[in-house]
Structure 1
Amino acid sequence: MSEAEFNLLLDAVRDAMINEDFAPEPEENVVPRSWSYAATPKAANDNEGAWPLLPFPDGWYAAC
Protein backbone atom coordinates (compact mmCIF):
# COMPACT_ATOMS: atom_id res chain seq x y z
CA MET A 1 0.00 0.00 0.00
CA SER A 2 1.44 3.32 -0.99
CA GLU A 3 1.47 6.35 1.26
CA ALA A 4 -1.15 8.06 -0.92
CA GLU A 5 -3.50 5.05 -0.61
CA PHE A 6 -2.93 4.96 3.14
CA ASN A 7 -3.77 8.65 3.46
CA LEU A 8 -6.98 8.10 1.43
CA LEU A 9 -7.90 5.26 3.77
CA LEU A 10 -7.28 7.46 6.83
CA ASP A 11 -9.43 10.22 5.31
CA ALA A 12 -12.27 7.75 4.66
CA VAL A 13 -12.13 6.46 8.23
CA ARG A 14 -12.01 9.99 9.65
CA ASP A 15 -15.01 11.02 7.54
CA ALA A 16 -16.94 7.92 8.63
CA MET A 17 -16.25 8.65 12.29
CA ILE A 18 -17.36 12.27 11.98
CA ASN A 19 -20.42 11.56 9.85
CA GLU A 20 -23.59 11.35 11.96
CA ASP A 21 -25.02 8.57 9.77
CA PHE A 22 -22.42 6.18 11.15
CA ALA A 23 -22.91 7.06 14.81
CA PRO A 24 -23.76 3.98 16.89
CA GLU A 25 -27.27 3.71 18.24
CA PRO A 26 -27.53 4.01 22.02
CA GLU A 27 -28.31 0.71 23.69
CA GLU A 28 -31.55 0.64 25.65
CA ASN A 29 -30.91 -2.37 27.88
CA VAL A 30 -27.59 -1.31 29.33
CA VAL A 31 -27.06 -2.38 32.92
CA PRO A 32 -24.28 -0.43 34.66
CA ARG A 33 -21.79 -2.56 36.55
CA SER A 34 -20.60 -1.55 39.95
CA TRP A 35 -16.90 -2.22 40.23
CA SER A 36 -15.51 -2.87 43.64
CA TYR A 37 -11.84 -2.39 44.34
CA ALA A 38 -12.07 -4.62 47.40
CA ALA A 39 -13.07 -7.68 45.37
CA THR A 40 -10.09 -8.64 43.23
CA PRO A 41 -10.98 -11.30 40.67
CA LYS A 42 -9.11 -14.57 40.95
CA ALA A 43 -6.97 -15.51 37.97
CA ALA A 44 -8.08 -18.56 36.02
CA ASN A 45 -4.62 -20.13 36.33
CA ASP A 46 -4.02 -19.25 39.99
CA ASN A 47 -2.79 -22.31 41.83
CA GLU A 48 -2.43 -20.73 45.25
CA GLY A 49 1.09 -19.46 45.68
CA ALA A 50 4.44 -19.05 44.03
CA TRP A 51 6.06 -21.92 42.21
CA PRO A 52 9.36 -23.21 43.57
CA LEU A 53 12.58 -22.19 41.83
CA LEU A 54 13.80 -25.07 39.68
CA PRO A 55 17.50 -24.94 38.82
CA PHE A 56 18.69 -25.49 35.26
CA PRO A 57 20.36 -28.83 34.55
CA ASP A 58 24.14 -28.82 34.33
CA GLY A 59 25.34 -27.11 31.17
CA TRP A 60 22.09 -25.18 30.58
CA TYR A 61 22.03 -21.38 30.66
CA ALA A 62 19.40 -18.68 30.27
CA ALA A 63 19.66 -15.19 28.82
CA CYS A 64 17.18 -12.37 28.44
Structure 2
Amino acid sequence: MGEAEFERLLDAVNAAIAPVPEVDFIAGLTAYGRLPEAANDNGLTWPLVPFPDGWHAAC
Protein backbone atom coordinates (compact mmCIF):
# COMPACT_ATOMS: atom_id res chain seq x y z
CA MET A 1 0.00 0.00 0.00
CA GLY A 2 1.42 3.33 -1.02
CA GLU A 3 1.40 6.54 0.94
CA ALA A 4 -1.38 8.08 -1.16
CA GLU A 5 -3.62 5.04 -0.69
CA PHE A 6 -2.92 5.09 3.05
CA GLU A 7 -3.89 8.78 3.25
CA ARG A 8 -7.15 8.07 1.38
CA LEU A 9 -7.86 5.23 3.81
CA LEU A 10 -7.26 7.52 6.78
CA ASP A 11 -9.55 10.17 5.27
CA ALA A 12 -12.30 7.59 4.77
CA VAL A 13 -11.99 6.33 8.35
CA ASN A 14 -11.99 9.88 9.74
CA ALA A 15 -15.13 10.70 7.76
CA ALA A 16 -16.84 7.52 8.96
CA ILE A 17 -16.20 8.11 12.67
CA ALA A 18 -16.53 11.90 12.75
CA PRO A 19 -18.98 13.10 15.41
CA VAL A 20 -22.38 14.21 14.17
CA PRO A 21 -23.20 17.80 15.14
CA GLU A 22 -26.10 17.85 17.60
CA VAL A 23 -28.44 20.54 18.83
CA ASP A 24 -26.81 22.52 21.61
CA PHE A 25 -27.91 20.55 24.67
CA ILE A 26 -26.96 23.16 27.28
CA ALA A 27 -28.80 25.95 25.46
CA GLY A 28 -31.94 23.81 25.46
CA LEU A 29 -31.83 23.43 29.24
CA THR A 30 -31.97 27.16 29.93
CA ALA A 31 -34.66 27.97 27.37
CA TYR A 32 -37.60 27.16 29.67
CA GLY A 33 -37.29 30.00 32.19
CA ARG A 34 -36.96 29.44 35.91
CA LEU A 35 -35.43 26.37 37.43
CA PRO A 36 -37.63 23.81 39.20
CA GLU A 37 -37.81 23.97 42.98
CA ALA A 38 -37.18 21.09 45.32
CA ALA A 39 -40.31 19.29 46.52
CA ASN A 40 -39.39 19.85 50.17
CA ASP A 41 -38.46 23.53 49.86
CA ASN A 42 -40.48 25.51 52.40
CA GLY A 43 -38.66 28.74 51.60
CA LEU A 44 -37.17 29.19 55.07
CA THR A 45 -33.53 29.97 55.65
CA TRP A 46 -31.51 28.29 58.35
CA PRO A 47 -30.48 30.48 61.28
CA LEU A 48 -26.81 31.19 61.91
CA VAL A 49 -25.59 28.97 64.74
CA PRO A 50 -22.17 30.21 65.89
CA PHE A 51 -19.49 27.84 67.11
CA PRO A 52 -18.63 27.93 70.80
CA ASP A 53 -15.46 29.80 71.74
CA GLY A 54 -12.36 27.87 70.75
CA TRP A 55 -14.10 25.74 68.10
CA HIS A 56 -13.14 25.97 64.43
CA ALA A 57 -14.45 24.52 61.19
CA ALA A 58 -12.91 23.81 57.81
CA CYS A 59 -14.50 22.72 54.56
Q: TM-score, normalised by structure 2?
A: 0.35
Asked which structure has the greater CA Rg, the reply is 2
TM-score, with structure 1 as normaliser: 0.34
Higher helix share: 2
